[in-house]
Amino acid sequence: MKRDNKHVEIRNKVENLLSKGFSVEEISRKLSIPFGTRYIQGSAKWYIYCIKAKERQKKAIEKHPGLYSKAGKIAQQKHPWIGKELGKKYGSIQGKLNAQKLKGNSEYFSKMAKKLQQVNPGQSKNNMIKAHETMKKIGTFNEHQKKAALKCKEKNPFQLKEMSKKAHEKYPLALLALESHRKNYPYEFMGCLFDSNDERIICQKLVKKGLIEKPIEKVNVHFRIRRCHIDFFIQNKLFIEFHPARKFGRTIETERGYYKERRKLLNKNGFEKYPLIIINNLKDADFKVEEAEKLIRSL
């Protein structure tokens, strides 16, 4: 790689001196390279031949834009490994040259990033993860994030606020806190955690009746809908919510009132046709589970 970089560097110097009117002998003396012939690699005449070949190639591409693309495809068909090997050898060199030419051209890099994203949807995310891991290892991550946040604030003063708002809509703090607390609760059944022992007992009854094969968080147990969750989603057909009505405090609840509230949530989020059963207490659990079983059979 270093040898190729050196070749490009000398070739550019020779090209620069030729454009200034230097002769072959003068170029040879000035750059301390042999005079040679076009067949002796590394000589002044050989470099001049390389420059002429480069110019002819450029003209040929202008005249026939698809010429090298067609030739490349033929070569790739004959030698499938050639593209990979050439990429290994010259990819980084050409990449650096292009980066120097396009420095500051954010529009081009943005366009290329979009193309890469189409080819590989996980490209940007994977690159970001790698970059963050590297920064964490060398201890520059926090400083980088701070600078990025300040720069973002300068360009768009409201962007961080908007991003924060979106994050809270997607991952509401109250729900995240509830899920976090649940990890410390002792109410576990078949590898799934519950908010109370009563909720766990209801899940056991549903499993016993065959309405749930195995409780899975966020699939058939604690099914999330926007900023809320419903306790049980049975066979993707029926919702069951265990909620003892609040009889004290500022807000007094009734089973009917809570049903209307949850029904409204489901209707607003595309679950209008899905039945909902509210279990107010454990005494009614067996009756409500039987009701759910009958409903499932009829759906």
Angle at 153 between CA 150 and CA 159, to 5 degrees: 135
DSSP assigned state of 245: P
Contact 211/234 with Cβ under 8 angstroms? yes
Contact 221/190 with Cβ under 8 angstroms? no
Tens-digit pLDDT profile for residues 7-53: 888 888 888 888 888 888 888 888 888 888 888 888 888 888 888 88
Q: Phi/psi at 278 (nearest 5 deg)?
A: -105, 125
pTM above 0.85, yes or no: no
Contact 31/14 with Cβ under 8 angstroms? yes
Task: Tell whether the model's pLDDT for residue 243 goes beyond 90.
Answer: no
Tell me the pLDDT of the chain averaged across its residues.
Answer: 82
Task: Tell whether the model's pLDDT for residue 169 goes beyond 70.
Answer: no
Taking Cα atoms as reference points, which of 257, 192, 252, 248 lies closest to residue 219?
192
Structure confidence at residue 1 (pLDDT)? 46
Structure tokens at 109: 């890099």
Structure confidence at residue 128 (pLDDT)? 85
* CA separation, residue 289 to residues 75, 112, 164, 239, 286 (Å): 69, 56, 41, 11, 5
Structure confidence at residue 271 (pLDDT)? 92
Task: Tell whether the model's pLDDT for residue 247 goes beyond 80.
Answer: no
Residue 167: band (very low, low, confident or very high) from pLDDT cuts 50, 70, 90: low
Task: Tell whether the model's pLDDT for residue 68 goes beyond 70.
Answer: no
Residue ranges of domains in the chain: 2-103, 179-298
Percent of the chain's residues with pLDDT above 90: 19
Radius of gyration in angstroms for the set of CA atoms belonging to the chain, rounded to a whole number: 34
Structure confidence at residue 82 (pLDDT)? 66
Structure confidence at residue 173 (pLDDT)? 57
Residue with tokens 């419903």: 230
Q: Pick 105 or 194 by higher pLDDT.
A: 194
Structure confidence at residue 276 (pLDDT)? 93
- Assigned fold of 179-298: Endonuclease; Chain A (3.40.960)
Task: Tell whether the model's pLDDT for residue 170 goes beyond 70.
Answer: no
Residue with tokens 């050409």: 94
> Average pLDDT, stretch 145-160?
79
Contact 189/200 with Cβ under 8 angstroms? yes
Task: Tell whether the model's pLDDT for residue 204 goes beyond 90.
Answer: yes
> Average pLDDT, stretch 45-66?
83
